[in-house]
Amino acid sequence: MQTKVAFSAKRLLLTLLLCSCSVILLQSFDLSPRAGFLFHLICIAVGLAVSFLFFIPSVVIRVRTGFDFPTLVHRESPRLSPFIAVFYGAYFVYTAVFFLLPYTDMFCKKYFPETSPCFVAALLLISCVYAAAKGTNVITRFGIFLFVFALIANVLMMGGSVSSLSFGSGVVLNGTADELFRGALYFVTPAFIAVIFGFLSGFTKNFRLRQVVLTLILTGVKYAAIMFFVCFALGAYAYRQEYQTFVLSRVAHFGIYSGIESVYLALTTMSVFLIVSLFLCCVGKSVGQSGVLKHIICFAAVIFTLHTCAVYLRPVSELLTDTAVMVGFTFIAAVVVPCAYLIFGRVRLDKKAVGA
């Protein structure tokens, strides 16, 4: 039930900010423990600068035509659109599993060892189908509540860890070029939000380029804050853990209350819920407006199947959670295809010509 009312582009980007921040909640940092905090800052800056480049094709299409990418494809080359829909369908399925797998893994390892990851994924996907059926506008409204909750959760997690800070390590600029590449690659992961933006920006109004820049800067600030606390509060211990942010939440204490990891659990659950719902919305958008719910359910079933395969087959799991593969796939989806379309499709990027 997508409402026909356009909503503010700020809200979409706020939602995407939450999505990009969830990367650091779910993934272990692929960085060297001997590299200092400043080195991590450079990695974050490089990674997010590259992410900004991923945004450019979608932004160009949005600003110059007023359409989102799928709408442009449907209008300009209907014969190509099925192939593009298949490609992006595969991309969204892959990315959804990329986030779902570490989430269910973390959930079952840290909280409920006796629960099957497939059960967790199934329940989560059912909820996401419901949300996706309500439409992008509604999901971004949900994003406002999640933003407030994320603020409180981060203050609790970081504030509660202040007592554990140890300033004896970290403010050094160690690190090799290889580590810089790996670090930057990790921080390019949030570039997947550029693809979501490219697909859903058609529902929005009052878009400005500075909103994208601000989103990426805030993502960087969030990453830097978490890296700061991880570097100083936990140091090398944190790097050996699978989910460093989770460890950060465990060391948080407020007097006799130390259950901050429940807040972390809630935050990651809501974030994954948000991301997967948005992916399902994008799938609905890519395959067209008719029978959206049917398509959403089909793709949710595909995501569940792939997730189940990954749970039981290690090679599949390794492939699906590989950051390099994810970044490469995102590069094709966010940059190569839109650019190829723009250049070789000879699309007239003139608002009047297309919109008339």
Partner 1 sequence: MITVCIIYPFPLNIQEKCSYSNIGDFMNDSLKELLSELKQTFADSADLTVRELSLRSDTGLEAAVVTMEGMCDKEQLGQTVLTPLLSFDFGRDSGEEAADAVLHSVLASSDIIEFSDEQQLISFITSGFAALVIDGCARGFAIGVQGFAFRSVSEPESEVVQRGSREGFTEPLRVNMSMLRRRIKSPDLVFEQMTVGSDSQTQLMLCYLQNKASPALLDTLRKRLSECDLETVLASGYLSDYLEDPGTSRLFSGVGISERPDTVCGKLTEGRIAVIVDGTPAVITIPHLFVEEFQGVDDYSNRTYYAAFIRVLKYIAFFASVFLPGLYTALAQFHPEYFPTWILIQTSEALSKTPLPVTLEVLMMTFVYEVMKEAGLRIPKSLGHAVSIVGALVIGESAVNAGIISASTLMVVATAAICSYVTSALYPPIMTLRFVFIIAGGLLGLWGIVLVTAVVIISMCAKTSLGVPYMSSLAPFSLRSMRDVFIRAGWKRLSDRTINVRNFPETEVR
Interface with partner 1 (CB under 8 A), residue from 72, 139, 216, 238: 139
Q: Does 131 bind partner 1 (CB under 8 A)?
A: yes
Judged by beta carbon, residue 124 or residue 158, the one nearer partner 1 is 124
Q: Does 111 bind partner 1 (CB under 8 A)?
A: yes
How long is the chain?
Answer: 356
Q: Does 3 bind partner 1 (CB under 8 A)?
A: yes
Judged by beta carbon, residue 51 or residue 201, the one nearer partner 1 is 201
Type of residue at 69: F
User: Rounded to the nearest whole angstrom, what is the least distance from the CB of residue 12 to partner 1 in the complex?
Assistant: 12
Residue carrying structure tokens 């250049």: 343
User: Rounded to the nearest whole angstrom, what is the least distance from the CB of residue 240 to partner 1 in the complex?
Assistant: 23
User: Rounded to the nearest whole angstrom, what is the least distance from the CB of residue 103 to partner 1 in the complex?
Assistant: 11
Q: Does 289 bind partner 1 (CB under 8 A)?
A: no
Judged by beta carbon, residue 64 or residue 141, the one nearer partner 1 is 141
Q: Count other Cβ atoms within 10 Å, centred on residue 174.
A: 12
User: Rounded to the nearest whole angstrom, what is the least distance from the CB of residue 17 to partner 1 in the complex?
Assistant: 15
Q: Is the dihedral of CA 106, 42, 52, 325 positive or negative?
A: negative
Interface with partner 1 (CB under 8 A), residue from 16, 44, 106, 138: 138
| 276 neighbors 303 (Cβ within 8 angstroms) | yes
User: Rounded to the nearest whole angstrom, what is the least distance from the CB of residue 141 to partner 1 in the complex?
Assistant: 4
Interface with partner 1 (CB under 8 A), residue from 52, 107, 199, 239: 107
Q: Does 145 bind partner 1 (CB under 8 A)?
A: yes
Q: Does 151 bind partner 1 (CB under 8 A)?
A: no
Interface with partner 1 (CB under 8 A), residue from 144, 162, 171, 353: 144
Judged by beta carbon, residue 146 or residue 326, the one nearer partner 1 is 146
Q: Which stretch binds partner 1 (CB under 8 A): 6-14, 41-49, 58-66, 309-317?
A: 6-14
Residues 244-273 that bind partner 1 (CB under 8 A): 256-257, 259, 262, 265-266, 269-270, 273
Closest CA to 104 of 123, 90, 88: 123
Judged by beta carbon, residue 82 or residue 159, the one nearer partner 1 is 159
User: Rounded to the nearest whole angstrom, what is the least distance from the CB of residue 305 to partner 1 in the complex?
Assistant: 21
Q: Which stretch binds partner 1 (CB under 8 A): 40-48, 81-89, 107-115, 234-242?
A: 107-115
Task: Tell me how many residues contact partner 1 (CB under 8 A).
Answer: 34
SS3 sequence of the chain: CCCCCCEEHHHHHHHHHHHHHHHHHHCCCCCCCCCCHHHHHHHHHHHHHHHHHHHHHHHHHHHHHCCCHHHHHHHHCCCCHHHHHHHHHHHHHHHHHHHHHHHHHHHHHHCCCCCCHHHHHHHHHHHHHHHHHHCHHHHHHHHHHHHHHHHHHHHHHHHCCHHHCCCCCCCCCCCCHHHHHHHHHHCCHHHHHHHHHHHHHHHEECCCHHHHHHHHHHHHHHHHHHHHHHHHHHCHHHHCCCCHHHHHHHCCCECCECCCHHHHHHHHHHHHHHHHHHHHHHHHHHCCCCCHHHHHHHHHHHHHHHHHHHHHCHHHHHHHCCHHHHHHHHHHHHHHHHHHHHHHCCCCCCHHHHHC
Judged by beta carbon, residue 3 or residue 163, the one nearer partner 1 is 3
Contact footprint for partner 1 (CB under 8 A): 1, 3-5, 7-8, 11, 107, 111-112, 120, 123-124, 127, 130-131, 134-135, 137-139, 141-142, 144-145, 256-257, 259, 262, 265-266, 269-270, 273
